[in-house]
Structure 1
Amino acid sequence: MSLSQFDSQKRIGVLGGGQLGRMLHQSAINLNLNLQMMDPDENAPCASLIEDFTVGDLEDFDTVYAFGKECDVVTIEIEKVNTDALKKLQSEGVLVYPEPEVIALIQDKRIQKQFYKDNNIPTADFVLTESAEDLKQHEDKLPAVHKMGKGGYDGRGVQVIKSANDIEKGFNGPALLESFVPFKKELAVIVARNQAGEVESFPPVEMVFHPEHNLVEYLLSPALLAPEINEEAEKIAKELIVKLNMTGLLAVEMFLTKDNEILVNEIAPRPHNSGHQSIEGNFTSQYDQMLRAVLNLPLGDTNVKICSAMVNVLGEDGFTGEAKYEGMNEVLKIPGAHVHLYGKKITKPFRKMGHVTITDPSLASLRKKIETVKNTLKVKA
């Protein structure tokens, strides 16, 4: 089976029904596309929006296989899925994008890092560790970052180990120890590739992380970079998706070192937090581009329309329960502020509850608005 022209009747299955699926659904509506979704949470953000919504375990072979059998195309909004079921579906003619082999590679940070090394993709030096005892043999490589091979997400499964005194904080299982990179900026590039081999990347964005919880606090688009660095970041992202032989949307997180070297940190084969601002800030959003890529349609114009920022709306520390939004009226008065809430009823400390995109032609004005949104919009219970 192949897709060669636009067909709004294609049965498109999405594994995952969280906020990324919610925004993907909004793009699908514009093309009169109907998505089928499956998520383990009956109260997932997409549950009340998608007519064909299934509650199911994304890691169970039979559940994923049965869901995919009813689809022409299967894609993902989270990579924690059963890739064996996806491989079987692919062998039986269902189009699976991104390809199961790519998802499996990215699911394991150890294999992912080895792929960079084998394919000359610039990345930080690393060693593989098998246990807590094994980790103790590498004190000479500190300071470093210890990362679980599988299961880490949104800052979980990542531990900074500054000295031998911190080794006990490491993980007792398959992991990797990565040299600590003295970077000056953290960047991200979203890149897409369709089955026709067309590749387009979005201009790099600059990410600013929460100092304690390893979550993106806000980002600036486009990143403030010298032209040659901007060009190199996009080149690496395009090279990476081609070497992966991947169809779909790929988020590439990068470090810009103090020596102006670009190193790939991690990748995600789906829409990403670092691309949310593209809904208002770019001619094509990352969600539009993902649909174009997996349906083998012409890829869209990724250029920036206007300078923008994305501020994550996180649950306040110390509050768990039914979400209440303080400061919403004040934020809605800000020129260029676009509020996106994710439909999550329950807030928890630092849970992603939404984001605010801010557009402004003036960078100085944009920065002031970022601070206003950060200090004004609070999610409590």
Structure 2
Amino acid sequence: MSYSGSIPTNGTAQAVLVLEDGKRFVGKAYGATGQTLGEIVFATGMTGYQETLTDPSYAGQIVLMTAPHIGNTGANDTDMESARIWVSGFVVREPSRTVSNFRSQRSLDDDLESNNVVGISGIDTRAITRHIRSAGAMRAGIFSGDFLKLSDSEQLELVQNAAQMRGRNLSDDVSTVDPYSLPAQGERIGSVAVLDLGVKKSTLNYLAERGFEVLVLPQTVTAKDVLSLNPDALFFSNGPGDPAASDAHVDLLQECLRAGLPYFGICFGNQLLGRALGFRTYKLPFGHRGINQPVLDKATGRVEITSQNHGFAVDMPIEGELDSRAGFGRVEVSHYSLNDKVVEGIRCLDIPAFSVQYHPESAAGPHDANHLFDRFRDVVMAHQNAAGAGDSK
């Protein structure tokens, strides 16, 4: 939650970052001035800061960039992953003093100020990153402008009273209010119902490029609503919050899986598939965020460098076939992280459903996992052919 202050950013105004455990870092105001609270997390991408800022998965979080220089290439309309910036706050070591890119339409500072994003610069982001890796993600606040008049204890009290990410459902904050659609590009192979839990523009475009008519639905829809559209497949997007707080979405997914709909989920959609299959989820100490996360595809033995943003994961053993505790047959972990062996993908062996924890659309790169959209198309077409063969008998 952010509040715009009354003092404009001038590049020299002071700001302070306060962590839940009492640590304080004094720097310069960056972007809008005021007060903001959220869970502080770090993102390791050296590029793609605009895609990070406009990713709805970061709602409720203060994002710290580990790359030391941010803003070099400015900002533009093309690289927006949604209609606005979603982060609660922004922390950088050194903002770029100049913008140098032929695609730039404005500076990053302009975007931060126009979106009322309270930020801080000129602090030791490496030290903060090392602290988060040791102590774990925690609540934090950035204070500048009039809010510097608060005492240290008053600022810390605000941080410690802020909402925690565990148990928090943020889908309603980021989802579309009204349904909308994108036409299939090229030969139409069918329609896919997309549950918008914080979906990114690139994801929708990649689905449309595979021949899907894309039906984007609010997170409030029911299974009856989805099935009434008679889609050829179902897709759950990325999104913020705790998957353990999304029981309604789990129920919706289970009903659609029982109805035989092919399913593909990414990030939050992976966690919800895990829950729908009967497994639990848990909070990671500091999560995976950035565009350089190594993942092993068990089927091919190939290592893919992936884009990720998640603070929760599915609790499953990474080896062997398992029986779904919810009655969906055999399942297995298809991908796992090479950094810490966290589950990064799930494959159902008896129903047409799979998911990955990372973001295969990865607009800022790398594109190692983009082939998963082709795989989804193949799964849907195979299901259509099998259904057609059954109907002809």
When normalised by structure 2's length, the TM-score is: 0.30
Determine which structure has more spread, i.e. the larger CA radius of gyration: 2
When normalised by structure 1's length, the TM-score is: 0.31
